[in-house]
Amino acid sequence: MQSVAVEMQGVSKGFKGLVANNKVDFRLLKGSIHGLLGENGAGKTTLMNILFGLYQPDEGEIFVDGSKVTIDKPSKAMDLGIGMVHQHFMLVKPLSVTQNIMLGLPSKKGPFLDTANVETALLELARKYHLMINPKALIKNLSVGEQQRVEILSVLYRGAEILILDEPTAVLTPQETKELFNILKLMRDDGKAVVLISHKLEEIINICDEVTVLRDGCRVANEKISCETTKSHLTNMMVGREVLFDFKDRSSDFGPDRLVVENLT
Ligand SMILES: Nc1ncnc2c1ncn2[C@@H]1O[C@H](COP(=O)(O)OP(=O)(O)OP(=O)(O)O)[C@@H](O)[C@H]1O
Ligand SMILES: [Mg+2]
Protein backbone atom coordinates (compact mmCIF):
# COMPACT_ATOMS: atom_id res chain seq x y z
CA MET A 1 0.00 0.00 0.00
CA GLN A 2 1.57 3.31 -1.13
CA SER A 3 1.35 6.12 1.40
CA VAL A 4 -0.19 9.49 0.66
CA ALA A 5 2.17 12.43 0.15
CA VAL A 6 -0.44 15.15 -0.37
CA GLU A 7 -4.17 15.36 0.00
CA MET A 8 -6.08 18.46 -1.15
CA GLN A 9 -9.75 18.49 -0.16
CA GLY A 10 -12.47 20.73 -1.55
CA VAL A 11 -10.03 23.37 -2.79
CA SER A 12 -11.57 26.39 -4.51
CA LYS A 13 -10.02 29.49 -5.98
CA GLY A 14 -11.66 32.33 -7.85
CA PHE A 15 -10.24 35.32 -9.71
CA LYS A 16 -12.65 38.24 -9.87
CA GLY A 17 -15.75 36.18 -10.50
CA LEU A 18 -14.01 33.49 -12.53
CA VAL A 19 -13.85 30.12 -10.76
CA ALA A 20 -10.43 28.62 -11.55
CA ASN A 21 -10.78 25.72 -9.08
CA ASN A 22 -14.13 24.49 -7.80
CA LYS A 23 -14.04 22.23 -4.71
CA VAL A 24 -11.21 20.15 -6.15
CA ASP A 25 -10.01 16.97 -4.41
CA PHE A 26 -6.51 15.82 -5.31
CA ARG A 27 -4.56 12.96 -3.76
CA LEU A 28 -0.92 12.32 -4.55
CA LEU A 29 0.83 9.06 -3.61
CA LYS A 30 4.50 8.64 -2.77
CA GLY A 31 6.50 6.73 -5.37
CA SER A 32 4.17 7.67 -8.20
CA ILE A 33 3.92 9.93 -11.22
CA HIS A 34 0.52 11.62 -11.23
CA GLY A 35 -0.73 13.26 -14.41
CA LEU A 36 -2.80 16.41 -14.04
CA LEU A 37 -4.73 16.65 -17.28
CA GLY A 38 -7.07 19.30 -18.63
CA GLU A 39 -7.67 21.71 -21.49
CA ASN A 40 -6.26 25.24 -21.53
CA GLY A 41 -7.71 27.18 -18.64
CA ALA A 42 -9.02 24.07 -16.83
CA GLY A 43 -7.29 25.15 -13.60
CA LYS A 44 -4.23 22.86 -13.50
CA THR A 45 -1.61 25.52 -12.83
CA THR A 46 -3.84 27.30 -10.32
CA LEU A 47 -4.27 24.10 -8.29
CA MET A 48 -0.54 23.45 -8.19
CA ASN A 49 0.26 27.11 -7.49
CA ILE A 50 -1.95 26.72 -4.42
CA LEU A 51 0.00 23.63 -3.34
CA PHE A 52 3.24 25.56 -3.87
CA GLY A 53 2.01 28.49 -1.76
CA LEU A 54 1.81 31.03 -4.60
CA TYR A 55 -1.96 31.40 -4.23
CA GLN A 56 -4.16 31.07 -1.17
CA PRO A 57 -7.27 28.93 -1.65
CA ASP A 58 -10.67 30.53 -0.94
CA GLU A 59 -11.74 27.28 0.71
CA GLY A 60 -10.52 23.73 1.22
CA GLU A 61 -7.82 21.95 3.17
CA ILE A 62 -4.36 20.61 2.42
CA PHE A 63 -2.64 17.72 4.17
CA VAL A 64 1.03 16.87 3.70
CA ASP A 65 2.18 13.54 5.14
CA GLY A 66 -1.14 13.33 6.96
CA SER A 67 -0.87 16.67 8.76
CA LYS A 68 -3.08 19.64 7.96
CA VAL A 69 -0.96 22.54 6.69
CA THR A 70 -1.31 26.16 5.63
CA ILE A 71 1.03 26.92 2.76
CA ASP A 72 1.12 30.70 2.66
CA LYS A 73 4.35 31.12 0.69
CA PRO A 74 6.68 29.04 -1.53
CA SER A 75 9.35 28.90 1.19
CA LYS A 76 6.77 27.14 3.40
CA ALA A 77 6.08 24.69 0.56
CA MET A 78 9.81 24.02 0.23
CA ASP A 79 10.08 23.47 3.99
CA LEU A 80 7.37 20.83 3.54
CA GLY A 81 9.41 19.19 0.77
CA ILE A 82 7.36 20.55 -2.13
CA GLY A 83 9.17 21.89 -5.21
CA MET A 84 7.81 23.27 -8.46
CA VAL A 85 9.33 23.73 -11.91
CA HIS A 86 7.31 26.39 -13.70
CA GLN A 87 6.50 26.72 -17.38
CA HIS A 88 8.80 29.73 -17.54
CA PHE A 89 12.17 29.18 -15.92
CA MET A 90 13.29 31.46 -13.14
CA LEU A 91 17.06 31.33 -13.67
CA VAL A 92 19.52 34.23 -13.70
CA LYS A 93 21.22 33.96 -17.09
CA PRO A 94 24.66 35.52 -16.43
CA LEU A 95 25.23 33.32 -13.36
CA SER A 96 26.49 29.74 -13.25
CA VAL A 97 24.42 26.65 -12.45
CA THR A 98 25.82 26.47 -8.91
CA GLN A 99 25.35 30.20 -8.27
CA ASN A 100 21.72 29.97 -9.39
CA ILE A 101 21.03 27.03 -7.11
CA MET A 102 22.72 28.74 -4.15
CA LEU A 103 20.61 31.89 -4.60
CA GLY A 104 18.44 32.51 -1.58
CA LEU A 105 19.84 29.61 0.42
CA PRO A 106 21.81 30.15 3.64
CA SER A 107 25.53 29.37 3.32
CA LYS A 108 27.12 26.82 5.62
CA LYS A 109 30.16 29.11 5.76
CA GLY A 110 28.44 32.06 7.43
CA PRO A 111 28.93 35.25 5.42
CA PHE A 112 31.09 33.47 2.82
CA LEU A 113 29.93 31.49 -0.18
CA ASP A 114 30.26 27.73 0.02
CA THR A 115 30.58 27.17 -3.72
CA ALA A 116 32.95 24.18 -3.70
CA ASN A 117 30.85 22.12 -1.30
CA VAL A 118 27.59 22.96 -3.06
CA GLU A 119 29.18 21.96 -6.36
CA THR A 120 30.21 18.58 -4.95
CA ALA A 121 26.70 17.99 -3.59
CA LEU A 122 25.19 18.98 -6.95
CA LEU A 123 27.44 16.60 -8.85
CA GLU A 124 26.37 13.77 -6.57
CA LEU A 125 22.68 14.56 -7.02
CA ALA A 126 23.13 14.94 -10.77
CA ARG A 127 24.78 11.52 -10.95
CA LYS A 128 22.02 9.89 -8.91
CA TYR A 129 19.22 11.16 -11.15
CA HIS A 130 21.15 11.23 -14.46
CA LEU A 131 20.79 15.02 -14.68
CA MET A 132 23.89 15.56 -16.79
CA ILE A 133 24.91 19.12 -16.16
CA ASN A 134 28.14 21.04 -15.59
CA PRO A 135 27.77 23.04 -12.34
CA LYS A 136 30.25 25.64 -13.59
CA ALA A 137 28.39 26.35 -16.85
CA LEU A 138 26.70 29.72 -17.26
CA ILE A 139 22.92 29.51 -17.69
CA LYS A 140 23.04 31.71 -20.80
CA ASN A 141 25.12 29.03 -22.56
CA LEU A 142 22.72 26.17 -21.81
CA SER A 143 19.99 24.75 -24.03
CA VAL A 144 16.38 24.93 -22.86
CA GLY A 145 16.47 21.25 -21.90
CA GLU A 146 19.63 21.80 -19.84
CA GLN A 147 18.08 24.83 -18.11
CA GLN A 148 15.12 22.68 -17.16
CA ARG A 149 17.51 20.13 -15.64
CA VAL A 150 19.05 22.95 -13.57
CA GLU A 151 15.57 23.84 -12.28
CA ILE A 152 14.95 20.19 -11.36
CA LEU A 153 18.38 19.93 -9.71
CA SER A 154 17.64 23.08 -7.72
CA VAL A 155 14.35 21.67 -6.45
CA LEU A 156 16.06 18.39 -5.49
CA TYR A 157 18.92 20.23 -3.79
CA ARG A 158 16.33 21.99 -1.64
CA GLY A 159 15.22 18.56 -0.45
CA ALA A 160 11.97 18.16 -2.40
CA GLU A 161 10.12 14.88 -1.97
CA ILE A 162 7.16 16.18 -3.96
CA LEU A 163 7.92 17.61 -7.41
CA ILE A 164 5.46 19.53 -9.53
CA LEU A 165 6.34 20.02 -13.20
CA ASP A 166 4.12 22.40 -15.18
CA GLU A 167 3.97 21.37 -18.84
CA PRO A 168 7.66 20.40 -18.79
CA THR A 169 7.75 18.90 -22.26
CA ALA A 170 6.26 21.92 -24.03
CA VAL A 171 9.78 23.31 -24.54
CA LEU A 172 11.63 20.04 -25.15
CA THR A 173 12.70 18.10 -28.22
CA PRO A 174 11.50 14.46 -28.42
CA GLN A 175 14.96 13.26 -27.31
CA GLU A 176 14.99 15.66 -24.34
CA THR A 177 11.48 14.53 -23.42
CA LYS A 178 12.69 10.92 -23.35
CA GLU A 179 15.57 11.90 -21.08
CA LEU A 180 13.26 13.87 -18.79
CA PHE A 181 10.91 10.91 -18.45
CA ASN A 182 13.83 8.65 -17.49
CA ILE A 183 14.74 11.18 -14.79
CA LEU A 184 11.15 11.25 -13.51
CA LYS A 185 11.07 7.45 -13.37
CA LEU A 186 14.26 7.42 -11.28
CA MET A 187 12.60 9.87 -8.87
CA ARG A 188 9.50 7.74 -8.64
CA ASP A 189 11.58 4.61 -7.98
CA ASP A 190 13.30 6.59 -5.24
CA GLY A 191 9.92 7.11 -3.54
CA LYS A 192 9.30 10.69 -4.61
CA ALA A 193 5.87 11.93 -5.64
CA VAL A 194 5.78 13.63 -9.04
CA VAL A 195 2.96 15.73 -10.52
CA LEU A 196 3.13 16.06 -14.30
CA ILE A 197 0.86 18.80 -15.61
CA SER A 198 0.13 18.09 -19.24
CA HIS A 199 -2.46 18.09 -21.92
CA LYS A 200 -0.56 15.56 -24.02
CA LEU A 201 -2.42 12.28 -23.86
CA GLU A 202 0.48 10.05 -24.96
CA GLU A 203 2.61 11.40 -22.12
CA ILE A 204 -0.03 10.66 -19.54
CA ILE A 205 -0.51 7.14 -20.85
CA ASN A 206 3.21 6.41 -21.29
CA ILE A 207 4.64 7.62 -18.03
CA CYS A 208 1.93 8.26 -15.43
CA ASP A 209 0.65 5.78 -12.85
CA GLU A 210 -2.48 7.77 -12.18
CA VAL A 211 -4.34 10.71 -13.69
CA THR A 212 -6.59 13.44 -12.33
CA VAL A 213 -8.65 15.29 -14.91
CA LEU A 214 -9.82 18.87 -14.48
CA ARG A 215 -12.53 20.47 -16.58
CA ASP A 216 -13.71 24.07 -16.09
CA GLY A 217 -12.11 24.13 -12.64
CA CYS A 218 -13.78 20.91 -11.46
CA ARG A 219 -12.18 17.53 -10.90
CA VAL A 220 -14.07 15.27 -13.26
CA ALA A 221 -12.02 12.09 -12.89
CA ASN A 222 -9.25 10.36 -11.01
CA GLU A 223 -8.11 6.94 -12.09
CA LYS A 224 -5.13 4.61 -12.43
CA ILE A 225 -3.46 4.39 -15.81
CA SER A 226 -3.48 0.83 -17.11
CA CYS A 227 -2.60 -0.86 -20.38
CA GLU A 228 -6.27 -0.46 -21.27
CA THR A 229 -6.31 3.34 -20.90
CA THR A 230 -6.90 4.89 -24.31
CA LYS A 231 -6.39 8.36 -25.70
CA SER A 232 -10.06 8.68 -26.59
CA HIS A 233 -11.09 7.77 -23.04
CA LEU A 234 -8.84 10.52 -21.63
CA THR A 235 -10.03 13.07 -24.19
CA ASN A 236 -13.66 12.31 -23.48
CA MET A 237 -13.05 13.03 -19.81
CA MET A 238 -11.04 16.14 -20.63
CA VAL A 239 -13.54 17.78 -22.97
CA GLY A 240 -16.75 16.10 -21.78
CA ARG A 241 -17.87 14.66 -25.08
CA GLU A 242 -16.90 12.04 -27.67
CA VAL A 243 -13.93 13.06 -29.81
CA LEU A 244 -13.08 11.25 -33.02
CA PHE A 245 -9.45 10.49 -33.73
CA ASP A 246 -9.89 8.83 -37.14
CA PHE A 247 -10.19 11.54 -39.70
CA LYS A 248 -11.08 10.16 -43.12
CA ASP A 249 -9.48 11.77 -46.14
CA ARG A 250 -12.17 13.25 -48.30
CA SER A 251 -11.21 14.02 -51.87
CA SER A 252 -12.96 17.09 -53.16
CA ASP A 253 -13.75 18.38 -56.60
CA PHE A 254 -12.30 21.87 -56.61
CA GLY A 255 -13.51 22.74 -60.13
CA PRO A 256 -11.44 24.42 -62.85
CA ASP A 257 -8.19 26.32 -62.10
CA ARG A 258 -8.71 29.97 -61.21
CA LEU A 259 -5.06 30.99 -60.98
CA VAL A 260 -2.04 29.16 -62.31
CA VAL A 261 1.59 30.18 -61.75
CA GLU A 262 4.40 28.44 -63.62
CA ASN A 263 8.20 28.76 -63.67
CA LEU A 264 8.18 31.67 -61.25
CA THR A 265 11.71 32.75 -60.25
N1 LIG B 1 -3.61 35.31 -11.60
C2 LIG B 1 -4.75 35.16 -12.27
N3 LIG B 1 -5.64 36.20 -12.39
C4 LIG B 1 -6.79 36.05 -13.05
N5 LIG B 1 -7.20 34.91 -13.65
C6 LIG B 1 -6.36 33.85 -13.58
C7 LIG B 1 -5.11 33.91 -12.88
N8 LIG B 1 -4.51 32.70 -12.98
C9 LIG B 1 -5.34 31.92 -13.69
N10 LIG B 1 -6.45 32.60 -14.05
C11 LIG B 1 -7.59 32.06 -14.81
O12 LIG B 1 -8.01 30.88 -14.17
C13 LIG B 1 -8.37 29.87 -15.12
C14 LIG B 1 -7.52 28.64 -14.89
O15 LIG B 1 -6.19 28.97 -15.29
P16 LIG B 1 -4.96 27.98 -15.14
O17 LIG B 1 -3.75 28.74 -15.54
O18 LIG B 1 -4.97 27.35 -13.81
O19 LIG B 1 -5.32 26.88 -16.24
P20 LIG B 1 -4.43 25.71 -16.84
O21 LIG B 1 -5.25 24.47 -16.76
O22 LIG B 1 -3.10 25.70 -16.21
O23 LIG B 1 -4.33 26.14 -18.38
P24 LIG B 1 -3.10 26.04 -19.44
O25 LIG B 1 -3.16 24.66 -20.01
O26 LIG B 1 -3.44 27.08 -20.44
O27 LIG B 1 -1.82 26.32 -18.71
C28 LIG B 1 -8.17 30.50 -16.49
O29 LIG B 1 -9.41 30.98 -16.93
C30 LIG B 1 -7.19 31.64 -16.22
O31 LIG B 1 -7.39 32.69 -17.13
MG1 LIG C 1 -1.18 26.03 -16.91
Residue 17: its pLDDT value, please?
87
Provide the residue type at 148 as one letter: Q
Ligand 1 centroid to Cα of residue 45, in Å, is: 7
Choose among 227, 220, 210, 212: nearest CA to 241: 220
> Ligand 1 atom 29: the closest Cα is on which residue?
41
Q: Give the ligand 1 atom nearest the CA of 46.
A: 18
- 14 — phi, psi (to 5°)? -120, 150
pLDDT digits (tens, 9 = 90+) for 142-179: 999 999 999 999 999 999 999 999 999 998 999 999 99
Which residues share a beta bridge with 14?
19
The ligand placed nearest to the CA atom of residue 56 is 1
Mean pLDDT of the chain, nearest integer? 92
Q: How many CB atoms lie within 10 A of CB 70?
A: 11
Q: Give the ligand 1 atom nearest the CA of 47.
A: 18
In the predicted model, is pLDDT for residue 188 greater than 80? Answer: yes
Per-residue pLDDT band for 115 (boundaries 50, 70, 90) equals confident
Interatomic CA distance for residues 163 and 122, integer angstroms: 17
Ligand 2 centroid to Cα of residue 86, in Å, is: 9
Q: Give the ligand 1 atom nearest the CA of 55.
A: 1
Average pLDDT over residues 45-74: 97
Ligand 1 centroid to Cα of residue 19, in Å, is: 9
Q: What is the DSSP string of 156-184?
A: HHTT-SEEEEESGGGG--HHHHHHHHHHH
Residue 109: its pLDDT value, please?
75
Residue 143: its pLDDT value, please?
93
Per-residue pLDDT band for 249 (boundaries 50, 70, 90) equals low
Q: Give the ligand 1 atom nearest the CA of 43.
A: 18
Q: What residues are in contact with ligand 1 under a 6 Å CB criterion? A: 15, 18, 20, 38, 40-46, 199
The ligand placed nearest to the CA atom of residue 40 is 1
Residue 241: its pLDDT value, please?
75
Provide the residue type at 121 as one letter: A
Read off the pTM: 0.89
Which residues share a beta bridge with 215?
218
Q: Where are the alpha helices (DSSP H) in 23-143?
A: 44-51, 74-79, 97-102, 115-128
Ligand 2 centroid to Cα of residue 41, in Å, is: 7
What domains are defined for the chain? 4-239 (3.40.50.300)
In the predicted model, is pLDDT for residue 245 greater than 70? Answer: no
Average pLDDT over residues 233-237: 93
* Per-chain residues with Cβ under 5 A from ion ligand 2: 45
Residue 244: its pLDDT value, please?
66
